[in-house]
């Protein structure tokens, strides 16, 4: 099996590691994290060092690929950019749970995490470094832009477009043929009946815009 590393040692990494182990395609040689003590064990794997040490760690542990296991969209993007600045050709893998259902003509980019029970119906497309949490459903001909996030239990209708850096949180329903702009967050349990623009927080049934959001703004409680 190909050696890989996991970038990030937070809670999201725990789920990513479980998926990678179940895929049985890659061998995790350790975790690279910016906070956890070097040498500590997280989720059964040793913390090898910091991302700034990538070149040296790669030589020592003989890996050329990895997965960014960070839940926040912008933090995932910042780390991606940093890694590319050190190694422009570094290879990012996808982590796809064996129970995920993937329809015909589905396009999946790189660096994505697709969790247990996810359904990707025909002709849908996921760009790069997206997260689809447990049981999420992306319907036919729908689209997720890079660094976006479809949380557990959320469902889209057909031909829905989710913009870059946007997050659809827990148990949201988006009706068919709607567009969610970039850097937009839809709150848990919402029902989206009409398009939402860029840079807003919206929630409710029906979902209504509550306030504007700044680029780079966090959405996770732990952040």
First to last CA, the chain: 34
- Name the token pair of 122: 């025909």
The whole model's pTM is what?
0.96
Query: 95-212: which CATH topology?
Result: UDP N-Acetylglucosamine Acyltransferase; domain 1 (2.160.10)
- pLDDT tens, 161-209? 999 999 999 999 999 999 999 999 999 999 999 999 999 999 999 999 9
- pLDDT tens, 50-96? 999 999 999 999 999 999 999 999 999 999 999 999 999 999 999 99
Calculate the average pLDDT of the chain.
96
Locate the domains of the chain by residue range.
Answer: 2-92, 95-212
Confidence at residue 172, expressed as pLDDT on a 0 to 100 scale: 98
Q: Is residue 221 scored above 80 in pLDDT?
A: no
Mean pLDDT of all residues in 20-41 = 97
Mean pLDDT of all residues in 36-49 = 97
Confidence at residue 219, expressed as pLDDT on a 0 to 100 scale: 77
Query: What percent of the chain stands above pLDDT 90?
Result: 96
Domains 2-92 and 95-212 share a fold: no
The confidence band for 220, taking pLDDT boundaries of 50, 70 and 90, is low
Distance CA 40, CA 188 (A): 35
- Paired sense of beta strands 41-42 and 45-49, if any: antiparallel
Find the range with the poorest average confidence among 44-48, 172-176, 217-221: 217-221
Which of 35, 33, 57 has the alpha carbon at shortest distance from 45?
33
The confidence band for 223, taking pLDDT boundaries of 50, 70 and 90, is very low
Confidence at residue 60, expressed as pLDDT on a 0 to 100 scale: 97
In this structure, whether the domain defined by 2-92 belongs to CATH 3.40.50.20 is answered with yes
């Amino acid at each position: 099996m190909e050696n890989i590393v996991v970038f990030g040692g937070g809670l999201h990494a725990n789920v990513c590691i479980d998926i990678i182990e179940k895929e049985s395609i890659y061998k995790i040689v350790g975790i690279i994290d910016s906070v956890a003590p070097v040498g500590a064990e997280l989720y059964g794997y040793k913390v090898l060092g910091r991302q700034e040490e990538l070149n040296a760690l790669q030589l020592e542990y003989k890996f050329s690929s990895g997965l960014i296991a960070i839940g926040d969209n912008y933090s995932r993007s910042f780390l991606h950019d940093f890694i590319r600045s050190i190694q422009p050709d570094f290879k990012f893998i996808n982590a796809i749970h064996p129970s995920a259902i993937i329809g015909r003509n589905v396009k999946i980019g790189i660096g994505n995490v697709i969790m247990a029970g996810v359904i990707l119906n025909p002709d849908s497309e996921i760009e790069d470094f997206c997260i689809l949490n447990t049981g999420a459903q992306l319907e036919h001909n729908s689209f997720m832009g890079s660094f976006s996030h479809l949380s557990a239990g959320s469902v889209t209708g057909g031909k829905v477009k989710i913009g870059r850096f946007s997050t659809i949180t827990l148990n949201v329903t988006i009706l068919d043929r709607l567009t969610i702009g970039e850097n937009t967050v839809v709150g848990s349990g919402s029902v989206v009946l009409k398009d939402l623009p860029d840079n807003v927080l919206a929630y409710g049934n029906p979902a209504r815009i509550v306030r504007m959001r700044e680029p780079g703004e966090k959405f996770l409680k732990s952040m």
